[in-house]
Structure 1
Amino acid sequence: MDEKASMSPAQRILKLIGLLTVAGLVVSLLAGAWLLGRFGADTPVVYKDDVDHFKYGSLGSEHEFGVPYWIWRALPELFADKLPGKGLESLGFVFEKGKVLPAGMSQRRYLGFDLVWLNCAICHTGTVRESSQSEPKVYAAMPANTFDFRAFTRFLFAAGEDRRFTPRDILRQINVIRRREGLRDLALIDRLVFRFYAIYYMRERLLTLRDRLNFIQEEPEWGPGRVDTFNPLKAYFNFPPEKLSKQERVGTTDFPSIWNQGQRETLKMNLHWDGNNVSLEERNRSAAMGTGITPPTGDRPSLKRVADWLRDLAAPPYPFKIDKDLAAQGAPIYKKYCAECHGADGKDFRGEYAGKVVPIDEIGTDRHRMDSYTYDVAVNQNMIFAGYGDERFSHFRKTFGYANSPLDGLWLRAPYLRNGSVPTLRDLLEPSAKRPKIFYRGYDVYDQKKIGFVGDVAEEKGKKFFLFDTDETKEPGNSNKGHEGKRFGTELSAAEKDALVEYLKTF
């Protein structure tokens, strides 16, 4: 008699239940493994080349602010009417050939989706053209001379406010793009998550961020290559914007260059425009927070890789012709008027006052960035990374001037002064009364004679550039005064100024 025939009905039912239970467990385990593999991964796109890693590698900002890749692709097409021109290029994003994402944007697989957001290169990668017919050359670690950060945020907030920011419209636009590129529609699970969660969640996050940063709308326009560094941080600290003093409400400043960080660290130079920190590591992590990382979400190995690379990264040499004889005439002029504050030359940063903070009354430049960083901000900033051992910030402080900076790669750091209010080096050597009152920012064609970017072009091929007005009564924070008088070289003869500018091309 076989086993099946000898089993009672109750036994057969119990056996069936057992088999179904085992099958259910197997299916559950397989489903769990699939879900874990799909939604549990935290994997950034990795680049072997350090330059590519700097421009496109993830620092971890996607954990907190990541936008699903296909939603990111859809936004500039669906909301093209919210952009100042054609595509994200109209906001000054730098796109290299063969790349879908711009420099300064990274990608990471997280929570089951390819997410994208910002890294350090968004503020520290720019372009230069020899002429209007030339192809742009991309330089890593220079100030992002074309990128308009505020216009970018304005675009995102305007998209979030628009009635088309719906699953139906965004998914439809994604399908248009994918079919154009020969791809199938999104997978069912992607469509379901987008339709019932991700798009609604993203819109809510955008509108919440808009409301928290709404006080920025009262500030003068930033324009390309500039950002208000620390007032958004006050929103992070939940400072009531209506209680901010009038003098601290405008903190707009130029993006800095970030080459040769190791020598700055060795010489214990004061960092940031106002010299509010001497710790390179703290400065780096603080800057990375500007891309969207937080203490628990930052990718430590990736941050370290970028920091290590920047320690020894030399500034790119001036690529155009240099009159060596004229430059030789400028060398002693530099030594007499500039070296003690800005270093021996573009490679040796040693100088009696190099890296030191100069009181605002001595330098005489626009004080808004200095005033925007308050004692209360420093106290709160030193609490960041509390609970993370040695990572806790402890060196931030309030200063009352601006730090003397080395001049490596000076040719790429235009416009000049802390707020970018002087278009060229030659203009900087004139008294403020003779400096340009207005000029255009965001144009990347280079002025080889005066050293800086051409500032009298309002529009090219439909792209409009930003008119910068130095009248502080109209645009607080834009004054081009200061860094003038005999000690600053503005009383030199025209020939001496030309020689000094030629020498500075060698930095």
Structure 2
Amino acid sequence: MLVAGPAATAAPEEGPVHFADQSWSETDRAWFYGASQGSQIMPYAWFLSLEAPEGGGLFVADRLERFGYLPNPYDGRTGPATGLPVGFVKDVDDRGEWVGMTCAACHVNRVSLRGRTIQIDGGPTNADMFAFIAELGRALTLTASDDARFDRFARRVIPAELSGQGGADRRRLRASLTRFAGDFARYVEQSRARVAWGPGRLDAFGMIFNRATGMDLRDPRNIAEPNAPVSYPFLWDTSWHDWVQWNGSAPNNLVVERLGRNVGEVLGVFAHADIREPTLPPLWFQTSADRLNLMRIEGRLRDLTAPGWPNAVAPPTESQRQDAAAGKVLYDRLCLSCHAIAPTGPDRRQSVTLTPLDRIGTDPAMARNAESRQAFSGILEGVRMPFLVTTPPLPERLRSLDLVAAIVAGAILEPVDLLQNPSRLGADQADIVARLLKRGASEREARNELLNTMSGAGGKDLVARFLGDRRDRDLLVYKARPLNGAWATGPFLHNGSVPNLYELLLPSDQRSKTFRVGSREIDETKIGFRSDIGPFLFDTSLPGNSNAGHEGPDYGTSNLTEAERRQLIEYLRTL
């Protein structure tokens, strides 16, 4: 089933956009597209006033569609139009107005099927994030260094009524912009990998490690090349899994565990974090990460369900239905032990399968980086986070993943915005928190639980458990999750190295060595996106891009007949 979207949902050449039925209302969708998570890329007025490096137009003139981001059909519906795409929002705090990214920037996608454009909420974006930050860095550098370009920028940023102050405001603006442009240029270079990520991928852990342990901790020794890109995961049902991330490194059963995962994510995408040398316990950090909104976002995502194959657009033939029935028998025998069918109903909790790296045989870069990358604790050496006797002091060096978890704990426990400014937790927000945390609890209960989770003794115990759950675990694993909705999520494997489900069922030596990435057009036969078109050439021979693994007797790919592959494909289409 498809749901018609607002009239302004598509670029003119695409025609109208329809939304897959995923158990969300239009209100849910509109809120998710613009819900701030505390990401702060740069001052909001600067972002809207920058010119693109080439062509003379504004950087945001095409709503960032050139990078693969999607126009926001709800922009301007409840306030002034911004021209920002899905997942780019204004974040406002005591420091000013900022432009930032939210979950929707990376987890909403569109597919094209038989001329119909379908929007997939929670689907992996097709955007090229590195191309975005690289061009943004060039725009900043040119604006700071070129007099004419800066003059145009300043006229847009500084209101006319404030521009007649002897030029002092313009000098301050240029000095601030020059400093920021230099810092951003360094950030771009620290994010550059020798093997390009391309559309639909990024090294999320590498970016989080660099920002949290390098930039935010102000320790350049902790910066490393983000050389293990992975595909953006799809989000439906993720909130219900006991372990998340491609390598199953994040526990996900408790409210604080889900909050910790999301705080870590926003630290990686431009959240402001003020990590200073500790003085007195309990230790925390000031951060722009919006913990309340992150919990609200997670709550909305718990209601999101997988998109079904659009039978109204591409109905199955009788032969395909027969193949799907035969494919279910094969799936139950060959696949079900790892890729369980997602539960339905109000409680969809599920234990996922974590497969050892030496068994799955897929590209090891992401899992090995998470398991082995080390960082200096710097000014945090010797402290306990949270400050409990049962939490060991941070050593001089430790695993980057564990140092990030400790930094996340400090961000979660920071009490300023809720305890010192309780008015920020208004009645409307308390209602939402009550719905998300207690499913019907009173406002007082919801508020108390939220505050205890953040800052109370019970909350610290939970955070300590959150830290301890991962430290002694084997991280050389990859997660096998339910495959419902997989038809809309290619390319496949954690690093996006296999273009379609058909090739995933082949031995790796028969899979494409190179293919194009960036198309939104569904390949109906092989189930994935068309790999003969697209702006980016994916080369599986490059480091981090291996398409090996998920083959052999354990996976049935060595013994499948061509007919059996077709049957499995048809069944997977129905999930």
In 2, Cα distance between the equivalents of 1:408 and 1:199? 51
Alignment of 1:189 onto 2:162:
yes
What's the CA shift for 1:98?
6.4
What's the CA shift for 1:91?
1.1
SS at match of 1:341: coil
Aligned identity (percent) is: 29
1:52-88 per-residue CA deviation (whole Å, 9 max, x = no partner) reads 22111211223xx33324x3233354644899x9772
Provide the TM-score with structure 2 as the length reference: 0.68
Alignment of 1:377 onto 2:400:
yes
- Mark the CA change 1:292 to 1:447 in structure 2 (over 3 Å): closer, same or farther: same
Q: Which residue among 421, 429, 437 is the counterpart of 2:513?
A: 437
Gaps of 5+ in 1: 1-46, 179-184, 459-464
Q: Is the 8 A contact 2:264 2:408 kept in 1?
A: no
Alignment of 1:59 onto 2:37:
yes
User: How do 1:360-371 and structure 2 match up within 5 A?
Assistant: 360-371=357-368
Q: Is the 8 A contact 1:50 1:309 kept in 2?
A: yes
The one-letter code sitting in structure 2 at the alignment partner of 1:446 is: I
- Mark the CA change 1:98 to 1:355 in structure 2 (over 3 Å): closer, same or farther: closer
SS at match of 1:486: coil
In 1, Cα distance between the equivalents of 2:164 and 2:574? 55
- Mark the CA change 1:163 to 1:344 in structure 2 (over 3 Å): closer, same or farther: closer
SS at match of 2:564: helix
What's the CA shift for 1:168?
5.2
Alignment of 1:497 onto 2:561:
no
In 2, Cα distance between the equivalents of 1:499 and 1:153? 43
Q: Which residue in the other structure is 2:391 paired with?
A: none
1:404-432 per-residue CA deviation (whole Å, 9 max, x = no partner) reads 22212111210000100001001110111
- Mark the CA change 1:81 to 1:334 in structure 2 (over 3 Å): closer, same or farther: farther
In 2, Cα distance between the equivalents of 1:194 and 1:409? 53
Alignment of 1:120 onto 2:103:
yes
1:233-277 per-residue CA deviation (whole Å, 9 max, x = no partner) reads 3323129777889xx86221110011113431xxx2x21001111
The one-letter code sitting in structure 1 at the alignment partner of 2:139 is: A
SS at match of 1:483: coil
Q: Is the 8 A contact 1:262 1:312 kept in 2?
A: no
Q: Is the 8 A contact 2:500 2:526 kept in 1?
A: yes
Q: Is the 8 A contact 1:125 1:139 kept in 2?
A: yes
Higher mean displacement: 489-498 or 291-300: 291-300
Alignment of 1:257 onto 2:234:
yes
User: How do 1:46-445 and structure 2 match up within 5 A?
Assistant: 49-62=27-40, 65-69=41-45, 71-77=46-52, 79-80=54-55, 88-97=64-73, 99=75, 100-110=83-93, 114-131=97-114, 134=115, 136-145=117-126, 147-162=127-142, 169-170=149-150, 172=152, 186-189=159-162, 195-198=170-173, 200-212=175-187, 214-236=189-211, 237-238=213-214, 250-264=227-241, 268=242, 270-279=243-252, 280-293=258-271, 294=273, 296-319=287-310, 320-322=314-316, 323-344=320-341, 347=344, 355-374=352-371, 376-387=399-410, 388=413, 389=455, 390=459, 392=463, 394=467, 395-397=469-471, 399-445=475-521
Q: Is the 8 A contact 2:237 2:304 kept in 1?
A: yes
Q: How many residues align?
A: 430
- Mark the CA change 1:300 to 1:345 in structure 2 (over 3 Å): closer, same or farther: closer
In 1, Cα distance between the equivalents of 2:142 and 2:110? 32
SS at match of 1:292: coil
Gaps of 5+ in 2: 1-24, 76-82, 253-257, 274-285, 373-398, 414-454
Q: Is the 8 A contact 1:446 1:452 kept in 2?
A: yes
Q: Which residue among 544, 550, 559 is the counterpart of 1:483?
A: 550
- Mark the CA change 1:242 to 1:342 in structure 2 (over 3 Å): closer, same or farther: same
Q: Is the 8 A contact 2:522 2:530 kept in 1?
A: yes
SS at match of 2:407: coil
In 2, Cα distance between the equivalents of 1:254 and 1:325? 32
What's the CA shift for 1:224?
0.4
RMSD: 3.3
Provide the TM-score with structure 1 as the length reference: 0.76
In 1, Cα distance between the equivalents of 2:95 and 2:550? 53
Q: Is the 8 A contact 1:129 1:136 kept in 2?
A: yes
